Amino acid sequence: MEEKKIEILTRASGVILRHGVRSVTMDDITSELGISKKTLYQYFSDKDSLINAIIDLKLGNDRAICLSSIENAENAIDALFLISKSICENVAAVNPTVFYDLRKHYPGAWQKVCDHKMTFVYDMILNNIQRGIKEGIYRENMNPEVVARLFVAYGDVIMSGEIFPWPEFHYDQVYFETTSFHIYGMSNKKGIEYLNKRELNE
């Protein structure tokens, strides 16, 4: 992807994720970015193609952040907390209406989000569970596939906004609490001891 297109895409992504999908028009984007309509349409034929490109960029960045967190973590517990922290920081910058707008008005882009959850996120959590069991900090008597799917389901519940309506509940805070609950539920005695030490050091 050429440099100019990446620059436009990155900046447009910031505008849409901050203000919402439906409320922002292509004219708004050209005005905000200080570019002509001709330049914008040179790279994106319509708003739908722009939204799909933004989702591709966002999911790609999320994957890179998660993989980096896994690589730099001392153990499975630290990895999941690092991932959670990164996701919380990203989610905090996203207008809550984005999830609703994508689901209702951009089914192609929303399907990419769903596929990401059921492939990358699911596999990442499943691998984390298997790692934690091998490291002796997660319970051996759980079904990794079921627990990994539960983690993915938590994300669906949070993004729906039905159980945790915004702004009464902020998505980043709910996600962090959910992740903490999930980690404590998976941890065995050794894992809980590590979590307690971790809290004391924070």
Predicted confidence (pLDDT) per residue in 18-53, tens digit:
888 999 999 999 999 999 999 999 999 999 999 999
Q: What are phi and psi of 138, to 5 degrees?
A: -110, 155
With a pLDDT cut of 70, the percent of the chain lying above it is: 99
Q: Which residues of the chain have pLDDT under 50?
A: none
pLDDT of 155: 82
pLDDT of 2: 82
Q: Residue ranges per domain, the chain? A: 61-201
pLDDT of 201: 77
User: Cis peptide leading into 167, omega within 30 of 0?
Assistant: yes
For the chain, helix, strand, coil in percent to 5 are: 80, 0, 20
Between the alpha carbon of residue 64 and those of residues 10, 91, 133, 161, the distances in Å are: 16, 16, 24, 27
Structure-derived torsion over alpha carbons of residues 10, 151, 96, 29, reported in degrees to the nearest 10: 20
The token pair at 126 is: 């499943």
Q: Which CATH number fits domain 61-201: 1.10.357.10, 3.40.50.920, 1.10.3720.10, 3.30.1330.200?
A: 1.10.357.10
